[in-house]
Amino acid sequence: MPPNTSQQEAKSDREQDDLGGLIHREHLPSGRADLAEPVIAHSQRERILNAMAATCASKGFGATTIADIVEAAGVSRATFYELFKDKEDCLQASMELSLADAMGRIVEVYSPDKPWATMVRDAARTFLELLASRPNFARMALIEAPAAGGRSLDMYASGKRVLQALLDRGRSDPLEEEAIPSSAGRGALAAAEQLIVGQILAGNTERLPELLPDIVYIVTIPYLGQDEALRQSREAEKLLQDEA
Amino acid sequence: MPQPRQGERWKPPRGRHGLPREVVQQYQRERLLEATMRIVAEKGYGPTTVTDLTRGAGISRTTFYELFEDKEACFLAAYDDAVDKLVRRIVVAYETEERWPDRARAGLRELLAALAADPAQARLAFVDVAAAGPAAQRRYRAAVQRLTPLFDEGRDFAPGGRGLPANASRMAAGAVVGLIADELIADRADQLPSLLSDLLFATLVAYLGPDAAAREVGEESR
């Protein structure tokens, strides 16, 4: 419990907003007039989104309240409602930002000149490193957002579809591989997801990059066959060792 | 088995039945667990209240709090109980066959039949459980984990099984539950049984590779 909560509880909503205003003036340079409004709004927005991810990570989205978010962000309730409709809206905005960031990085490693397996490995590696470096967002994006349902779940699903499309480029000749079900790519992604989410729930988010060899194995095997998938997996392992 | 609390042992048998208190409480607990899965599946975890649960199970509030500390504890127990029953069904079906691919097919078929029979609870078990908070999310993972030894028998069956990644069983199980969750989210629970060949492929491919997996899946249609 923060020290000033009981004080705040005794005051009206209006006064709470004032108090929140004080807190955020401490964080920002004084004299709001010197700063262009969008700059302030941008940083407040960012603070709220970070606070959202942090609170979600510690107590789950369901138990998170607006009061938790504004307190962790050091903004007023009024500011929150200027920027977001409700906590679902805030989660969606946070999800949108995380997704755009992740996809941007993955697209960066994508190149038609690279062999498919190398591209998949690099994309997986980038993704795991991103998650490891931002544990709160990892938890929010992979666990809380899909659990919240609605548009957050839709966004999560659309992110998976992009990855799946990337994977499905590994299908070389449709005739040759006709025995492989069309769900093979989706299954491979779900397999990787299970492993990643398990690590996050176990509190090992920072060790996610170590999963690379296993993930390379499971996502390439439907397309390349077992021998080649094992070879790719060993290569990924070597890559990690060389770096260590 | 819930133990009677201290201080209540010396009470005379209540009501008309005159049954031992433990028996009554056990019966009430089972009714409550069954009602909890049914009601939470219907209403969602968040909106469900303890009153909904006591009303649904036909028990008193006092009895509820003798059995569980709160809604979450009750839901977690109900969830574990439902998972226990499901896992038992799967294992029984799995063990009717000899070869691992056949065992996997029998187990998956049983899983799909059970889920298709109760779509609302299937959705709760696989999808909406995540909304019930961090403890419930860990329970779901633990439930999936209970199936991984069945998957890992593939390691003995596969020619190169020993050299496969240690996480193969977790990943195969993840593919299976992920594909099931996709169907449930898309409201296609009634079509779950037709997912059998996709799930079998997802299970076998992790151990046998795509060609052998596709051959095994093809055996079914002959």
* CA distance linking residue B202 with residue A185, whole number of Å: 10
Terminal CA-CA length for chain A: 41
What pLDDT score does A148 carry?
85
Q: What is the mean pLDDT of residues B16-43?
A: 88
Q: Is B133 an 8 Å CB contact of chain A?
A: yes
Greater model confidence, B216 or A170: B216
Confidence of residue A5 (pLDDT cuts 50, 70, 90): very low
Confidence of residue A178 (pLDDT cuts 50, 70, 90): low
Q: Which chain A residues touch B144 with a CB distance below 8 Å?
A: 194
What pLDDT score does B15 carry?
57
User: Tell me, what's the ipTM?
Assistant: 0.84
Q: What is the mean pLDDT of residues A125-131?
A: 95
Confidence of residue A188 (pLDDT cuts 50, 70, 90): very high
Q: What is the mean pLDDT of residues B187-210?
A: 94
Q: Which chain A residues touch B205 with a CB distance below 8 Å?
A: 184, 187, 221-222
What pLDDT score does B221 carry?
53
Evaluate if residue A187 carries a pLDDT over 50. Answer: yes
What pLDDT score does A218 carry?
96
Give the A window 45-104 contacts with B, CB below 8 Å.
Answer: 59-60, 62-63
Percent of chain A with pLDDT over 90: 50
What pLDDT score does A176 carry?
56
Query: What are the structure tokens assigned to B133, written together?
Result: 């908070």
Average pLDDT value over all residues in chain B = 89
Confidence of residue B12 (pLDDT cuts 50, 70, 90): very low
* CA distance linking residue B8 with residue B110, whole number of Å: 43
* CA distance linking residue A226 with residue B84, whole number of Å: 34
Report CB contact under 8 Å: B178, A195.
no
What pLDDT score does A49 carry?
93
Of all residues in chain B, the one with the smallest CA distance to A213 is: B165
Of all residues in chain B, the one with the smallest CA distance to A154 is: B185
Place of tokens 């005159």: B18
Q: Give the closest of B137, B173, B181 to A201, CB-based.
A: B137
